[in-house]
Amino acid sequence: MSTIQERDTFNAFHEYWDLENERQSETLQGMTLAVKDNIVTKTGTTTCGSKMLEGYKSPFNATVIDRLEDAGVVLVGKTNCDEFAMGSSTEHCAWGPVLNPWDRTRVPGGSSGGSAAAVAARLCQGALGSDTGGSIRQPAAFCGVVGYKPTYGLVSRYGLVAFASSLDQIGTFTTTVQDAANLVEIMAGFDELDSTCREEPAPALSKNLHDSIEGLRIGIPSQYTGSQNDPAINAAITSAINTYRELGATIIEIDLPLTEVGISTYYVLAPAECSSNLARYDGIRYGHRTDKPCKDLFELYSNTRAEGFGTEVKRRIMLGTYVLSSGYYDAYYNNALKTRRLICQEYHIAFEQCDVILGPTTPSVAFKIGEKADPLSMYLCDIYTANTNIAGICGISIPCGFSEAEGKQLPIGLHLQGSWYDDARLLRAAQMFQTATDFHTKVPECAQ
């Protein structure tokens, strides 16, 4: 864990290095940071947007919180999210929906919508989120900010309330790639409290961030730019590809045919894991407990869970219980695990041909509150992001343009994916784009 002492030394090195290179860098000292309400903090409550955890106060901090506070970051509050991080719009939380600062009739994306909106509205300089299938990158795209999901295992999940443990990862919302690198460099590195955390020190992410990458190979999968996307999104992606070409990158066409099975695979694996992880909310140990008189323990469980969980969470628990039940386990869960292996293989082959994979973060811009009433259309929001988590690689969404609707500017996100633990290169590729463009400097009217 980084101590203030170590961090001071590190900062001093940075200032020197930056002066030498005439570059701007910021330290984390005094940086204001909001935290998604599914990451535990001793200060305030941690509710996961659920009645089940209303008023819950954690007796301990998540590892990332301790590390960031040691580095001088100032926590300014907890941010609203879809209940237990299940959703793509931040409409489905016990405390009401979050509005998109670019257009308050639209959603900010989800499930980390509160964090994305807070950074977009410049209420804070950065925010933490969690990304299980796209919950950092999709709201970052909808709100016009940088959303970074590190490689699985780079950042400790200790203190992140579990949704689907093999997919969950903590990451950041910032306005610049530099801030994302600075934050994750402090958050990353081995933590004995998370057995899935890689046993390596944190990689250097902020150093050399501004160096352009000689001979960067960018893979463009044909599956990412079809007619399923808004035309304005495809146009922004074409223009981003041209920017990279002008910067000297080599553009390579690649094939990721398993993109189309990502959502169906995700919606077996994630509910299966959630049905197990959420079994702990039983009304006995902590959280909500029913007031109704109960004749036995089963009735206590059942009333507590019926009252405490919202509709989407119940749907996921039922789906997960079903795919894990004997008789269906092989047909659904085992098959999803096999598909997961194939998706990993597909990325392995792709990363032999290219260094980063480029595409849109989402097929559409921010949609209207209440517009996606059926669960399937909501699930399809993560079509380009779910496979990143299924494989455990790293991904980042950065602002790359705007689409206009009803007189409002709506941000578009550029999605870059990098290979396992190749986060430093992913961030450098993102920084290259940000150095050449000014989309990330645009702010919504409410923040001007």
Pick the binder of ligand GLN from 46, 79, 100, 135 (CB under 6 A).
135
Q: Which of residues 70-89 bind ligand GLN (CB under 6 A)?
A: 85-88
Pick the binder of ligand GLN from 133, 283, 399, 418 (CB under 6 A).
133
275 is catalytic: no
In the complex, minimum distance from the CB of residue 85 to ligand GLN, in angstroms, rounded to a whole number: 4
Rounded to whole angstroms, what are the CA distances from 370 to 87, 91, 105, 294?
13, 8, 9, 36
Exposed, middle or buried, 190 (CB in 10 Å: 0-12/13-18/19+)?
middle
Asked whether the beta carbons of 68 and 25 are under 8 A apart, the reply is no
3-state secondary structure 239-293: HHHHHHHHCCCEEEEECCHHHHHHHHHHHHHHHHHHHHHHHHCCCCCCCCCCCCC
3-state secondary structure of 96: coil
Reference 144, options 64, 236, 221; nearest CA is 236
d(CA 426, CA 346): 18
Q: Which of residues 249-288 bind ligand GLN (CB under 6 A)?
A: 270
Q: What is the CA angle 21-24-26, rounded to 5?
A: 125
Nearer to ligand GLN, 367 or 439 (CB): 367
Reference 259, options 222, 217, 229, 219; nearest CA is 222
Residue 39 within binding range of ligand GLN, rule CB under 6 A: no
In the complex, minimum distance from the CB of residue 59 to ligand GLN, in angstroms, rounded to a whole number: 25
Nearer to ligand GLN, 134 or 360 (CB): 134
Q: What is the C-alpha end-to-end distance of the chain, expressed in Å?
A: 38
Pick the binder of ligand GLN from 134, 150, 159, 189 (CB under 6 A).
134
In sequence order, the 6+-apart residues with CB closer than 8 A to the CB of 165 are 157, 196, 273, 277
135 is catalytic: yes
* Residue of 50, 135, 206, 403 with catalytic role: 135
In the complex, minimum distance from the CB of residue 118 to ligand GLN, in angstroms, rounded to a whole number: 17
Q: Dig out the tokens for 8 from the structure.
A: 């001071």
Pick the binder of ligand GLN from 346, 382, 422, 423 (CB under 6 A).
382
Report, in angstroms and rounded to the nearest whole number, the Rg of the chain calculated over CA atoms: 21
- CB nearest ligand GLN: which residue? 135
DSSP labels for 378-400?
HHGGGTTTHHHHHHT-EEEEEEE
Tokens 């999104």 -> residue: 233
* Beta bridge mates, 15: none
- The piece of 47-55, 132-140, 206-214, 231-239 that touches ligand GLN (CB under 6 A) is 132-140
In the complex, minimum distance from the CB of residue 130 to ligand GLN, in angstroms, rounded to a whole number: 6
Residue 108 within binding range of ligand GLN, rule CB under 6 A: no
Interface with ligand GLN (CB under 6 A), residue total: 14
Asked whether the beta carbons of 31 and 128 are under 8 A apart, the reply is no
- The piece of 63-71, 90-98, 130-138, 257-265 that touches ligand GLN (CB under 6 A) is 130-138
Pick the binder of ligand GLN from 41, 79, 111, 397 (CB under 6 A).
111
In the complex, minimum distance from the CB of residue 381 to ligand GLN, in angstroms, rounded to a whole number: 6
| 296-302-307-312 Cα dihedral, nearest 10 degrees | 170
Residue 61 within binding range of ligand GLN, rule CB under 6 A: no
Nearer to ligand GLN, 48 or 258 (CB): 48
165 is catalytic: no
- The piece of 70-78, 124-132, 329-337, 346-354 that touches ligand GLN (CB under 6 A) is 124-132
Nearer to ligand GLN, 135 or 339 (CB): 135
Q: Which of residues 148-207 bind ligand GLN (CB under 6 A)?
A: 163
Q: Dig out the tokens for 3 from the structure.
A: 């101590």
3-state secondary structure of 412: strand
In the complex, minimum distance from the CB of residue 252 to ligand GLN, in angstroms, rounded to a whole number: 28
Q: Which residues are catalytic?
A: 36, 111, 135
Positions that interact with ligand GLN (CB under 6 A): 85-88, 111, 130-135, 163, 270, 382
